[in-house]
Structure 1
Amino acid sequence: MEWFAAPEYWLSRLVFQKLLALLYLVAFLATALQFRALNGSRGMTPVRESVSWAQWRHSPSLLLPRRSDRLTACCAWTGCALSAALLAGADQLLPLWGAMLLWTAPWVLYLSFVNTGSLWYGFGWELLILEAGFLAVLLGNDRVAPPLPVLLLLRWALFRLEFGAGLIKWRGDRCWRELTCLYHHHETQPMPGPLSRLFHLLPRPVHRVEAAANHVVQLGVPFLLFTPQPVASAAACLMIATQLWLVASGNFAWLNWLTIALAVTALDLTPLAGDRAFASPPLWYVVVVCAATAGLLALSYRPARNLLSRQQAMNRSWDPLRLVNSYGAFGSVSRVRHELVVEGTDDPAPGPGTRWLAYEFRGKPGDPARRPRQFAPYHLRLDWMMWFAALSPAFARPWFDGFLERLLTGDRDTLRLLRHSPFPPGAPPVHVRVLLYRYRFTTREERRATGDWWHRTFVREQTGPTRLGGGPDGRT
């Protein structure tokens, strides 16, 4: 079946599978270490213990209809073990059907977390890892050559990811069309990395070139993925180079690395790896792949229509299994960076002379003297949500009060999400408050004079002194 097999992509498939297994491992590890504080039974937004059949049908999950922290932890650590096994090559030791089942297991487990994770799993890369993970099930192992229909589906996913992101920018903030968004973006992005300040301080003409290059790579290059080689490989290389630039300039969880993994599947690595002979694929495998391809193409209708819509939605799923999704990011860019600084005190009656101590987060800016860290591809969900909370207090309403309450009780699971708590274990603060600051990167002169990475200016008190049993607004 020459039309079905693409043996020249065997090394591309292998690299993609290894990268995906590694990212699965990171994703499951993030869930295992964070879920109790976020949406465990006593988390900030606890998942309901029982869910109706109708809800399960629209959000299928192994964690429903009844969820417990023990079951969630078991599924998360099982996902870590399965991912490690795939990374070690266990799928290559199994028969074809066994390899497909092995790749299905982490997909089912992670789907279970996304479908019950509510706002904590509302990011585009959560959908992308599920879409890529399902296609990985169909890719097979060394027993058969890579199936061409699945390779084309992987390119279709990459096309929607890049073209959708390009369209959302072009249709959104006018600064993208004026090529000025990157005057601000490196400084105001959700979680800057260790090199973000250097990127921000680049000359403005360079920022304009960055923005123009982004439009070319996201709005033009994706169409070349469906052209013959070596043009498709050249297009994939341009996308990989762009993603590595983004990896260096900020923290975007596993989005950039998974985009690179998808682009690898479009590379013809035959000059490096050489030809390899494969046995003919079994008939049942051909039938399964063709049927799945037809189904995924049918599900592509709404995401494709979304690309053409003036009301384009980004990071949206169109089916309960998250098989074909829409993507996009930064349709608007903030010109000013605001940060919430959470402080506590053991003073039972705070006044002008009260000494307040700040909590430090792992990834989000806090202490101006602390250099931003590199965490991606690991995903710090609370830190990302704090960025949204600074933009819109209404957005944070479902979980922020619960976060403050857990600081007041000294909840260990919540404190583990932080870099530093100024209060010793077992002695939580009596009051907490939240201050809003404006942050900007220091200039080269300011950095030499102060040693600080950030300069911050007080804006206002976002939440006044709050204690257990009732704060100034009676929320906690």
Structure 2
Amino acid sequence: MDWIAAPDAWLSRLVLQRGLALVYLLAFLSAAREFRPLAGERGLTPAPVLLRALSFRQAPSLFHLRYSDRLLAAVAWLGAALAAAVALGAADAVPLWASMPLWAVLWVLYLSVVNIGGTWYAFGWESLLLEAGFLAIFLGNDSIAPPTVGLYLMIWLVFRVELGAGLIKWRGDPCWRKLTCLYYHHETQPMPGPLSWFFHHLPRPLHRVESAANHVAQLIAPFGLFLPQPAATWAALVVIVTQLWLVASGNFAWLNWLTMILAVAAVDGALAARHLPLPDPPADQPDAPTWFAALLLAAAALVAFLSRRPVANLLSSAQEMNRPYNGFHLANTYGAFGSVTRHRYEVVLEGTNAPSPDGAARWREYEFHGKPGDVRRLPRQFAPFHLRLDWLMWFAALSPYAPSPWLHALVQRLLAGDRTILRLLRVNPFPDHPPTHIRARLYSYRFTTWRELRTTGAWWHRTPEGDHLPPRSLPHPPPAA
């Protein structure tokens, strides 16, 4: 690549920008669907409470001016409409000076949502989307040749994502060094997919191969992203294939898809264009104007300055994972599964219409879209869409006998028949009127064997472990957080 402009990288930029816009679209649609019941004015963890506790400097957000559920919905739907327009080419159809604000507005709108979402938005892929979205402001559009510095900023981001994930594994759970973590991971991961049962039942030698291949993809291949072509393309393909494997084996929202999109920045677009049936590249792409180059170099200098902390974290034996170092979510640290759980617990919500929750009560289960419940239901594929309530239910089960404050609030909403919460569930066993009592039961889950599947038709086997939360009824105020 030329240091200033890479005219042959038009395809890489096209895929990167359109793909990023599609991820933005999913993120805004998710906010429109979930934010009000989870973090709205009457949500499980209300955003107005968080806004009163945080300054603008701690959590930059437009909602510091004023918050309401209607304003949040307006921001979410505006962001979704703008993201859809950019995915269809709107940013390439306008002049460069107008294209940059389109990306900047997307970033500001989503930053405003994430910074008031609390625990529901405390995921590494939220920060990853925001960091990538900020860098996309400086990739230009079809009116100029793709700026090499902008592409390398994207490569630097995916390098930190992959190396951070690799190092946290190598330094963390010993099973990664012993190549045995995948004996458990496919079964105990947060939200299994439709193929996870089959991945779990691969022969153990193949699980060891999976683990070793993961170390190669995350500890070695990232350095190849900075090599001359075609080595950088091959390194990017290793990253992409590894991420596709993760897509097939589980549900990790848009993390894997966005990582693949970012890796495209290192792909030789001209080489790909010669081997794929694609339209001709845009004609007459001059170098960037001086004002754009100045802004790009300023952004690069900012990223270089802010990268001190994530680089120090990568080099530290006490490495952290998935932490933003500033309220703008720029130059974050990333990582995944520094430890792997060996045993799967699930919190199952059950309700009854009985006047008393005694031994004669008949309990019926609430079913979620993504998290395991009905043992005969094959896990579904939801990624790249993010089911935040389902994910938090997995985290709740990691503390089997210490219910989260938001879970108390969830039970109270279900007892009240809150329709906004019920829309986030797959099955409401009390469609006519709310139950009199609800409890949270703890179950031990494991994948069935091949023989058990043939005999019972069940994908899971579960064993009751007791109450996670004893029976509750209205009125019963939740405990203080």
The interval holding the TM-score normalised by the smaller chain is over 0.9
Whether the 8 Å CA contact 2:186–2:199 is kept in 1: the answer is: yes
Aligned residue number for residue 440 of structure 1? 446
Matched, 1:368 2:363: no
Between the aligned partners of 1:282 and 1:52, the Cα distance in structure 2 is 43
Whether the 8 Å CA contact 2:30–2:385 is kept in 1: the answer is: yes
Between the aligned partners of 2:271 and 2:54, the Cα distance in structure 1 is 52
> Out of 343, 354, 364, which is 2:350 matched to?
343
Between the aligned partners of 2:27 and 2:381, the Cα distance in structure 1 is 16
The one-letter code matched in structure 2 to 1:417 is L
Aligned residue number for residue 462 of structure 1? 468
Between the aligned partners of 1:106 and 1:369, the Cα distance in structure 2 is 41
Aligned residue number for residue 209 of structure 1? 209
Aligned residue number for residue 40 of structure 2? 40
Aligned residue number for residue 435 of structure 2? 429
Please give the residue correspondences for 1:78-117 in structure 2 after superposition, counting only pairs within 5 Å: 78-117=78-117
Whether the 8 Å CA contact 1:49–1:68 is kept in 2: the answer is: no
Q: 1:343 is paired with a residue of what secondary structure?
A: strand
What are the superposed Cα offsets for residues 217-269 of structure 1, whole Å, 9 maximum, x if unpaired?
Answer: 10111111111000000000000000000000000000000000001111002
Matched, 1:415 2:422: yes
Between the aligned partners of 1:190 and 1:50, the Cα distance in structure 2 is 26
Change beyond 3 A, Cα 1:289–1:204: same
Whether the 8 Å CA contact 2:168–2:337 is kept in 1: the answer is: yes
Aligned residue number for residue 253 of structure 2? 253
Between the aligned partners of 2:133 and 2:22, the Cα distance in structure 1 is 12
Please give the residue correspondences for 1:294-313 in structure 2 after superposition, counting only pairs within 5 Å: 294-313=301-320
Between the aligned partners of 1:272 and 1:179, the Cα distance in structure 2 is 35
Between the aligned partners of 1:164 and 1:347, the Cα distance in structure 2 is 51
Q: How far did residue 49 of structure 1 move? A: 6.0
Between the aligned partners of 2:52 and 2:44, the Cα distance in structure 1 is 22
Between 348-357 and 381-390, report the one with greater CA deviation: 348-357
Q: How far did residue 58 of structure 1 move? A: 1.7
Whether the 8 Å CA contact 1:24–1:83 is kept in 2: the answer is: yes
Q: Which runs of 5+ in 1 are unaligned?
A: none
Change beyond 3 A, Cα 1:4–1:395: farther
Between the aligned partners of 1:129 and 1:463, the Cα distance in structure 2 is 35
Whether the 8 Å CA contact 1:52–1:65 is kept in 2: the answer is: no
Change beyond 3 A, Cα 1:209–1:36: same
Between the aligned partners of 1:258 and 1:66, the Cα distance in structure 2 is 31
Between 388-397 and 199-208, report the one with greater CA deviation: 388-397
Aligned residue number for residue 319 of structure 1? 326
What are the superposed Cα offsets for residues 68-114 of structure 1, whole Å, 9 maximum, x if unpaired?
Answer: 10110000000100011011101111000111111111111110011
Whether the 8 Å CA contact 1:96–1:143 is kept in 2: the answer is: yes
Change beyond 3 A, Cα 1:250–1:2: closer
Whether the 8 Å CA contact 1:44–1:399 is kept in 2: the answer is: yes
What are the superposed Cα offsets for residues 310-351 of structure 1, whole Å, 9 maximum, x if unpaired?
Answer: 111111011211111000010000111100111001111121
Matched, 1:452 2:458: yes
What are the superposed Cα offsets for residues 251-309 of structure 1, whole Å, 9 maximum, x if unpaired?
Answer: 00000000000011110021342675411321101111011111111010001101011
Between 40-49 and 228-237, report the one with greater CA deviation: 40-49
Between 45-54 and 287-296, report the one with greater CA deviation: 45-54
Please give the residue correspondences for 1:286-301 in structure 2 after superposition, counting only pairs within 5 Å: 286-301=293-308
Matched, 1:330 2:362: no
Whether the 8 Å CA contact 2:408–2:479 is kept in 1: the answer is: no
Change beyond 3 A, Cα 1:360–1:475: farther
Q: 2:464 is paired with a residue of what secondary structure?
A: strand
Between the aligned partners of 2:353 and 2:53, the Cα distance in structure 1 is 47
Q: How far did residue 2 of structure 1 move? A: 5.3
Between the aligned partners of 1:99 and 1:396, the Cα distance in structure 2 is 47
Between the aligned partners of 1:49 and 1:173, the Cα distance in structure 2 is 37
Q: CA RMSD in A?
A: 1.8
Between the aligned partners of 1:356 and 1:134, the Cα distance in structure 2 is 49
Q: 2:225 is paired with a residue of what secondary structure?
A: helix
The one-letter code matched in structure 1 to 2:456 is T
Change beyond 3 A, Cα 1:2–1:9: closer
Between Structure 1 and Structure 2, how many residues are aligned? 474
The one-letter code matched in structure 2 to 1:455 is H
Q: How far did residue 398 of structure 1 move? A: 3.0
Q: 2:80 is paired with a residue of what secondary structure?
A: helix
Change beyond 3 A, Cα 1:432–1:248: same
Q: 1:138 is paired with a residue of what secondary structure?
A: coil
Q: How far did residue 475 of structure 1 move? A: 8.1
What are the superposed Cα offsets for residues 161-200 of structure 1, whole Å, 9 maximum, x if unpaired?
Answer: 0000001101110000100000000000000000000000
The one-letter code matched in structure 2 to 1:83 is A
Change beyond 3 A, Cα 1:22–1:295: same
Identity over aligned residues, as a percent? 58
Whether the 8 Å CA contact 2:83–2:106 is kept in 1: the answer is: yes
Whether the 8 Å CA contact 2:152–2:265 is kept in 1: the answer is: no
The one-letter code matched in structure 2 to 1:289 is L
Change beyond 3 A, Cα 1:475–1:3: closer
Q: 1:316 is paired with a residue of what secondary structure?
A: coil
Between the aligned partners of 1:272 and 1:34, the Cα distance in structure 2 is 39
Q: How far did residue 56 of structure 1 move? A: 1.0
Q: 2:336 is paired with a residue of what secondary structure?
A: coil
Aligned residue number for residue 400 of structure 1? 407
Between the aligned partners of 1:268 and 1:474, the Cα distance in structure 2 is 57
Between 50-59 and 148-157, report the one with greater CA deviation: 50-59
Whether the 8 Å CA contact 1:401–1:475 is kept in 2: the answer is: no
Whether the 8 Å CA contact 1:50–1:65 is kept in 2: the answer is: no
Q: How far did residue 18 of structure 1 move? A: 1.1
Between the aligned partners of 1:449 and 1:37, the Cα distance in structure 2 is 40
Between the aligned partners of 2:51 and 2:307, the Cα distance in structure 1 is 29
Q: 2:300 is paired with a residue of what secondary structure?
A: helix
Q: Which runs of 5+ in 2 are unaligned?
A: 275-280
Q: How far did residue 396 of structure 1 move? A: 5.1
Between 356-365 and 273-282, report the one with greater CA deviation: 273-282
Matched, 1:239 2:229: no
Q: 1:55 is paired with a residue of what secondary structure?
A: coil
Whether the 8 Å CA contact 1:251–1:376 is kept in 2: the answer is: yes
Between the aligned partners of 2:52 and 2:367, the Cα distance in structure 1 is 40
Between the aligned partners of 1:414 and 1:136, the Cα distance in structure 2 is 35
Change beyond 3 A, Cα 1:68–1:393: farther
Matched, 1:5 2:5: yes
Q: 1:456 is paired with a residue of what secondary structure?
A: strand
Whether the 8 Å CA contact 1:7–1:277 is kept in 2: the answer is: no
Please give the residue correspondences for 1:123-202 in structure 2 after superposition, counting only pairs within 5 Å: 123-202=123-202
Whether the 8 Å CA contact 1:100–1:138 is kept in 2: the answer is: yes
Q: How far did residue 470 of structure 1 move? A: 3.2
The one-letter code matched in structure 2 to 1:459 is E
